[in-house]
Amino acid sequence: MTERILGAYETGRPGPTVVVVGAIHGNEPSGLLALERVLTQLRRAEVPLRGRFLALVGNARAHAAGERYLQRDLNRDWVPDAVDALRARDPALDGPEDHEQRALLAVLDPLLAQAAGPMVFLDLHSMSSHGPPFAVLGDTLRNRTVALSLCIPTVLGLDETIDGTLMSWLVEQGHVGVGVEAGQHDDPASIDVHTSIVWLALEAAGAVDEDCCPWLPDHRRSLRGHALELPPVLEIRHRQRTFDGDGFVMRPGFRNFDRVTKGQPLADDAEGVIEATLDGHVMLPRYQPRGDDGFFLATPVRPFWLDLSARLRRGSLERWITHLPGVHPHPERPDHYVVDPGMARHQLVNLFHLFGYRRRHAEGERLVFSRRRPDHGAPAPDAAEPGPIEGDR
């Protein structure tokens, strides 16, 4: 294989393409170790895989150095303008992460060009803190189908607070893209979690089943053991952004999913104490020196709202959005709406989420929402009944 392709497996049977990326942050080795395990088991058991499975190295140079990144976060520049600028620039001017991104594009571009339908992409991460694993995704129905099959909590809304992730870029092109946070970076259990996740993702995509992989129930039981008494679905409500030199230090002892109350001290920086802005669960508390995020706060999502949103996205009620007070079609961008500042309340944001729209950014005092495209104009499985990905883009 190559520096970028850790391994591949296919048997010539028709089926989905499943691509898994490990170590897009170089100090997160468990994903690559898990992928090596899965590739070894596929080959030894001669699993009659449907479709093809591809394992990729995200940031090879940072991984070799044991660093999250060398010059810039490789998982923050996958926005169309940045990708186009990289393609147009002289490679002689590349920094380390520019080189890594070009190498990933050299593998991904042919896959995307040849795709006859939605491919399934998985991005494997670990954390600087301890805590149970969870899935993160842009809230499309296709993404839900895979994420809800993984037997771990699902966290929505991270794509509204962090721009430029690899998975978001792929989802915007009509594919499935789910990230998975396992345990702590150096915990051997994180390798076990990622191994189980890859097998269940292959099953969710329709590439394998229990007839050819009788070990799948063991992986389900293992992951469910991590999720006991945790909310099955949560939504990010607050991001604590950090900056170089701001002195951010997370207070010790926090783990993923720990309950916190509004006003509770969580961290400190040069300006003083940082308190929780709401009652909820702390997510991804940062106990490493590098990174743009100090922590996130999330609240549970009731199953009723997931079911309602799936039904609304398949219906024709979306046209009524333009009749809401203070909501206007964007004058220059299709599939975008502009919301006047007086109407940009929490309830209206939730309504846009129900219809599959993402809060993008502010233009002056107005909020802009964009449609998550794979939910519209293409068939998608029932969000409440995960199954194989079907249908064309």
Q: Is the pLDDT of residue 382 over 70?
A: no
Give 264-319 pLDDT, tens digit per residue.
Answer: 999 999 999 999 999 999 999 999 888 889 999 999 999 888 888 888 777 666 66
Question: For residues 56 and 1, is the Cβ–Cβ distance under 8 A?
Answer: no
Q: At CA 201, angle to CA 196 and CA 207, rounded to 5?
A: 120
> Domain limits of the chain?
5-226, 233-300, 315-375
Confidence class for position 342, pLDDT limits 50, 70, 90: low
Between 98-112, 238-252, 261-275, 343-357, the lowest mean confidence (pLDDT) is in 343-357
Positive or negative torsion for Cα 303, 278, 236, 316 = positive
Give 87-117 pLDDT, tens digit per residue.
Answer: 999 999 999 999 999 999 999 999 999 998 8
Positive or negative torsion for Cα 255, 256, 262, 265 = positive
Pairing of strands 233-241, 272-275: unpaired
Q: How far apart are CA 226 and CA 140, in angstroms?
A: 25
CATH code: domain 233-300 is: 2.40.50
Give 4-46 pLDDT, tens digit per residue.
Answer: 999 999 999 999 999 999 999 999 999 999 999 999 999 999 9
pTM for the whole structure? 0.84
Confidence class for position 331, pLDDT limits 50, 70, 90: confident
Which fold does the domain 5-226 belong to in CATH? Aminopeptidase (3.40.630)
